[in-house]
Structure 1
Amino acid sequence: MPHKKTLRAMAQQRRGVIVPGAFNALSARLVESVGYEAVYLSGAGLSNMSLGLPDLGFVGLSDLAEHTSRMRDAVNIPIIVDADTGFGNALNVRHTVRTLERCGADAIQFEDQVAPKRCGHFVGQQLISTQEAMGKIQSAVDARHDPDLMIVARTDAVASLGIEAAVERAHRYAEAGADVLFIEAVPSIQLIEMLPMRFDKPLLLNLVLGGRTPSVQAETLARFGYGFVLYANAALQSALTGMQRALVSLKHQGILDEDPFLVTPFSERQQLVDKPLWDAIATKFGPAGDGDPTD
């Protein structure tokens, strides 16, 4: 089944599919190798890991498109792409959808913040009007070539306007054609349990480590009726921990061995980047020994 149809079926099943975030092609491949069914290209992850900057709207469409293409080449599972505010108004959103669909996105997420956006677990988000946000979602839906490309509509209204305002916005975004609804920074388990009962469309819940939303088991979230459970930057935060531990050990000890508690073994790293495949290609198509190179 094509990736877009597969991802749409997952959403409709509402079984709390865990979707880890990735910040580059290799982290996406690691997500796939562990056995996850889909991966999320995180805007925060790109900003943090590629630019060394916070999630404050520094990533542009060309950066996002390039990383989407790289990730599509690296994995054979569906990709949900975080497109922030769509890089402008409804016209920009149309261009964003066309660009990211060509690059291999299977779902594209848009949010209702004023640009430049802020991480949903920071303070100080400002929202565009509901009407403008609906127009951007309608533009996104109209722009897609493949009707199975899903549009994920996120609202950041909880922090500034409260949960009922967020629910109202999400309903309007569903009317505008969004396939999946994403209410960011839900602050309590009671609200987490209530939300899926308020909507006909599948919901995505974002569990940010250290953020405003409490952690809940995926099995419980499946029972509540969530389509996706997003861990947008769990891989990023754990990668930072691993790098810190290895580098601190090297600094203090003056030597670093292939300790599996500190570093991924050399052989496993080569497997993750498909070196055996490239060796086989070189053997099959490369120069055949010392013969005449013009043969």
Structure 2
Amino acid sequence: MLGATATAHERRVRFRELLAEDAIAQFPGAINPINAQLIEQEGFEGVYISGGAFSAAQGLPDIGLTTLTEVADHGRAIARVTNLPTFIDADTGWGEAMNVARTVQEFEDAGLSGMHLEDQVNPKRCGHLDGKEVVSRAEMVKRVSAAVKGRRDDAFVISARTDARAGEGLQAAIDRAKAYVDAGADLIFPEAMRDLGEFETFANAVGAPILANMTEFGKSELFTTQQLADAGVSMVIYPVTTLRIAMGAIKRGLATIRSEGTQASLVEGMQTRADLYDTIDYNAYNDFDASIFNFSQEGHQ
């Protein structure tokens, strides 16, 4: 009630523990705080906060148009309500080295558990689209080094994402990832791998935990957690899945209301009021309120 009970540091420590475990950790994307509450209630290990999903929810393409302030506020609202580790998309860090350091500190202050920083140029593109460009390996090493230097809580997880697979090939992406680990990255995010063999090659070569991005309609097949774990992947994210589920249902529902003149046929598939109140812990708020305003005016003039 009234937010997470685990501290931000405790959730960051838990994130690191997950990366060190043999079992693969699943981080579905949350598009808002109640979505994060559902993710926790369904027993997942963590919550991912996608820049692509956030920009789409603002009616914008995923090309770096959202600001650090907007993204940090969005992340803060989600981190506030869940005891799970929260992992956020930092795009290219909103500027040069000092901007990257500030980005880390803004996310720390927002209660987030970790972030990933990518090696694309600005303006960036969705990782599963063609036409991406990456900065030099040296430039990205500067970004990662600045992030590590800006970090005040050593438990905050800094992940380096490389988009080099598409334009430079698998080996070049691996070489970049090794340099990013040497610069202090805790976790490597190889974007747009083509098959399980590429994930396995990457995991064996890099010497650091890696994550898989299981986004729909992308370059990678939608592998199972068991397949990914067998390939050496430590963590999997589903960045835009809940947004796509929700938007698909909303679009179909609106068409039904338009054609039938009522939402009656849709009610069976809706979240009930009781389930909504259970999700947001409504009764705990009532109990808290009653424990404070429990006095009586009787006998007083």
Q: What's the CA shift for 1:258?
A: 7.7
- The within-5 A match list for 1:157-168 is 157-168=164-175
- 1:41 corresponds to which of 44, 49, 52: 49
Q: 8 Å contact 2:253–2:266 — kept in the other structure?
A: no
- Structure 1 residue aligned with 2:288: 281
Q: 1:239 offset after TM fit, Å?
A: 0.8
1:175 maps to which residue?
182
Change in Cα spacing, 1:161 to 1:74, as seen in structure 2 (3 Å) is same
Once the 2 structures are TM-superposed, how far is the Cα of residue 190 of structure 1 from its aligned partner? Answer: 2.2
Q: Does the Cα contact within 8 Å between 1:15 and 1:226 map onto a contact in 2?
A: no
Whole-Å separation in 2 of the counterparts to 1:5 and 1:86: 23
Report the identity percentage: 31
Across the aligned residues of Structure 1 and Structure 2, the Cα RMSD in angstroms comes to 1.8
Unaligned runs of 5+ in 2: 1-5
Equivalent position to 2:241, from 234, 247, 250:
234
Deviation at 1:157, TM superposition (A): 0.5
Partner of 2:221: 214
Amino acid in the other structure paired with 1:236: L
Question: How many angstroms does 1:288 deviate by?
Answer: 4.8
After superposition, give the CA deviation of every residue in 1:222-267 in whole Å (9 maximum; x if it has no partner): 1222110111111111111121222222222212238565311122
Q: Which amino acid aligns with 2:29?
A: G
Indicate the residue corresponding to 1:31 in structure 2. Answer: 39
TM-score normalised by the chain length of structure 1: 0.94
**Runs of 5+ unmatched residues, structure 1:** none
TM-score (norm 2): 0.92
| Number of aligned positions between the proteins | 292
- How far apart in 1 are the matches of 2:250 and 2:30? 16
Alignment of 1:132 with 2:132, yes or no, is: no
Paired with 1:14 and 1:53, the residues of 2 have a C-alpha distance of 38
Aligned residue among 162, 175, 199 for 1:155: 162
The separation in 2 between residues aligned to 1:93 and 1:192, in whole angstroms, is 28
Which runs of structure 1 show a deviation greater than 6 angstroms over 4 or more consecutive aligned residues?
none
* Map of 2:275 onto structure 1: 268
- Name the counterpart of 1:146: 153
Change (3 A) 1:241 1:145: same
Q: Deviations over 1:30-68 (max 9, x none)?
A: 21111111001111111011x111211111110111112
Where does residue 95 of structure 1 map in the other structure?
Answer: 102
Residue 275 of structure 1: how far off its partner (Å)? 1.7
Distance in 2 between residues matched to 1:121 and 1:275, nearest whole Å? 40
Match of 1:82 in 2: 89
> How far apart in 1 are the matches of 2:276 and 2:53?
21
In structure 1, the partner of 2:12 is 4
* 1:135 to partner: Cα distance: 0.8
Distance of 2:12 and 2:128 partners within structure 1: 29
Distance 1:103 1:194 in 2: 35
Give, in angstroms, the shift of residue 175 of structure 1.
Answer: 0.7
1:115 & 1:142 partners in 2: Cα distance?
22
Q: Which moved more, 1:192-201 or 1:176-185?
A: 192-201
